[in-house]
Structure 1
Amino acid sequence: MKFIRLDEPGAEHPAVLATGKDGVERCYRLESLTPDIDGEFLAGGGIARTRAALEAGRLEEFPHAAGRRVGAPIARPASVVCIGMNYALHAAESGAEPPTVPVVFLKPSNTVVGPYDAAPIPPRSEKYDWEVELGIVIGRSASYLETLDDARACIAGFVAANDLSEREYQLPGAAGQWTKGKSLPSSTPLGPWLVPADELDAGRLRLRSWVNGEARQDSSTADLIFDPATIVHHCSQYMLLEPGDVILTGTPEGVALSGRFAYLTEGDVVEVEIEGLGRQRQEFFRAAPAREAVKA
């Protein structure tokens, strides 16, 4: 199953993609089960209820699904938690030693957008960067978990993500902060799908990214320093993870920060893909300063 949300921002409809016995993948509406794909749906056994409804043939097909906008596959989460430098080679290209404990920071949840939405480059940005990442979606509350098995039980599924980052705001000098570089509007494209955790081996997924069709990143989640269960367990010691929250697990080498590639400019097209979780595509444009936007 692949959970997906279709139609315009703020008016997305919950749906599921499923392959029938005839080998054909079809899209089905989920309004009979839930008003949205969110924390309440996940915590309330929504994945199991969807499986049962599909097996019983109780779901209505979604008409003309292929022509509709695809939103983020999870409704706006309460928290977007991020793990920094979770691939050794990316830590090296960032000029840092691989961490011995997870590096944790937060992104505002209002940065979450759909996987194909146009992406704004901040008006004065000169170092806007891409980062393909595996995203964990939390399915039940997690606080002070005792074991890795407890952590695994809290993972509802996985999504593809692009953690767009402004490096000039993030890193140099006394004013540089990860929060500043990671909080920009529309900087967290998610999707296109949410795949249940029990239908995917998240430990061996190929991650790739391209800029204007040229390969940039090509790695595997097998190279993660801290795997998903370890990340969820660790984060639960310091914060309450709630159903519907998203944790971005870090990016592999091959970003512009490495110095091997140019940063993003207006008109660039970025694609990111994770095996089993689909492919995103963003076309970048230069956002206007607020005063100019008002005049326009």
Structure 2
Amino acid sequence: MTDYVINPPAIASLAVEDQQARFPLRRVYCVGRNYADHAREMGHNPDREPPFFFSKPADAVVPADGDVPYPSLTNELHYEVELVVAIGKGGKDIAPQDALEHVWGYSVGVDLTRRDLQAQAKKAGRPWDLSKGFDASAPTHPLLPVSQTGHPSEGNIWLNVNGEVRQQGNLNEQIWQVPEVISILSQAVELQPGDLIYTGTPAGVGEIKPGDVVTGGIENIGTFSFILV
């Protein structure tokens, strides 16, 4: 047994629907601008240029129910609802036709973004890690195993704020589908069991404030509801 000079941190994990056992988390990857309409609203060309990725810390993943804290250092917090892929089998340079064999399950989550910090960092030509990777920046519904969901390539995805529809799309509008995302990401890093991939968001991203009730979901995957406090 390994000795450490300080107590090691707890292993980050995500609940699994209707199970006591949890899914341990290793790394969290996110795909940027993977829906054409969202790419356009952010001022970018939605053609199939190679996707780009960024990361969040594993302990940024929190339950997408109850209270979610409003982060410090921002006056412009944005929501982005996304299909989440859980990797159960690792691999490097995974072929697209083999990629789904590496998926353990799926969920729906929200990529919270300090949009003002992101804009400032982009303008200065600096990394924008702190605009994406802050505490509780990834509220996520419990995972469902592939045996229950199959591999969704279409289905409604939506997000409401205080009952008002803000995002409404379909998984079939993704520029890069899940097998392609896994394959391309695995060329850059070796994927491992416990990795999550947030696969991008449809158009309609916008601001939320303390007191807002955020609800949403993905057809046949699950729904969520949390309050920003």
Give the structure-1-normalised TM-score: 0.68
Is 1:277 the counterpart of 2:197 in the alignment? no
Residue equivalent to 1:207: 157
Equivalent position of 1:37 in the other structure = 22
Q: Distance in 2 between matches of 1:225 and 1:184?
A: 27
> SS where residue 100 of structure 1 aligns?
coil
What letter matches 1:126 in structure 2?
Answer: N
2:107–2:140 Cα contact (<8 Å) kept = yes
Aligned with 1:234 (options 163, 169, 184): 184
Name the % identity. Answer: 31
- 2:212/2:228 contact within 8 Å kept: yes
Work out whether residues 169 and 176 of structure 1, in 8 Å CA contact, stay in contact via their aligned partners in 2. no
Structure 1 residue matching 2:220: 3-state secondary structure:
coil
How far 1:229 sits from its partner (Å)?
A: 0.4
Gaps of 5+ in 1: 1-8, 18-28, 31-35, 39-74, 257-262, 286-296
| TM-score normalised by length of structure 2 | 0.87
Instruction: Name the residue aligned to 1:116.
Output: 65
Runs of 4 or more, structure 1, over 4 Å off, are 9-16
Relative to total residues, which structure has the larger strand share, 1 or 2?
A: 2
1:225 Cα shift?
0.2
The answer as to 2:217 corresponding to 1:267 is no
Q: Does 1:174 find its partner at 2:118?
A: no
Change in CA separation of 1:85 and 1:185 when aligned onto 2, cut-off 3 Å: same
1:16 deviates by 5.2
Q: Deviations over 1:125-148 (max 9, x none)?
A: 111011110001101011122x21
- For residue 171 of structure 1, give the secondary structure of its aligned residue in structure 2: helix
Q: How many residues align?
A: 217
Which residue in the other structure is 1:132 paired with?
81
Map residues 177-256 of structure 1 onto 2, 5 A cutoff. 177-196=127-146, 199-256=149-206
Report the secondary structure of 2:225's partner residue. Answer: strand
* Separation in 1, partners of 2:14, 2:202: 33
- Name the SS of the counterpart of 2:131 in structure 1: helix
AA aligned opposite 2:98: D
1:268 partner letter: D
- Taking the aligned partners of 2:113 and 2:41, their CA distance within structure 1 comes to 15
Q: Alpha-carbon deviation of 1:282?
A: 1.5
How far apart, CA to CA, are the structure 1 residues paired with 2:14 and 2:203? 35
Alignment-mate amino acid for residue 174 of structure 1 = A
The one-letter amino acid paired with 2:111 is D
Task: Give the aligned residue type for 1:37.
Answer: R
Shift of residue 171 of structure 1?
Answer: 2.3
Deviation at 1:90, TM superposition (A): 0.2
> Per the alignment, in what secondary structure is the counterpart of residue 39 of structure 2?
helix
Deviation at 1:275, TM superposition (A): 0.8
| Candidates 29, 35, 47, aligned match of 1:81 | 29
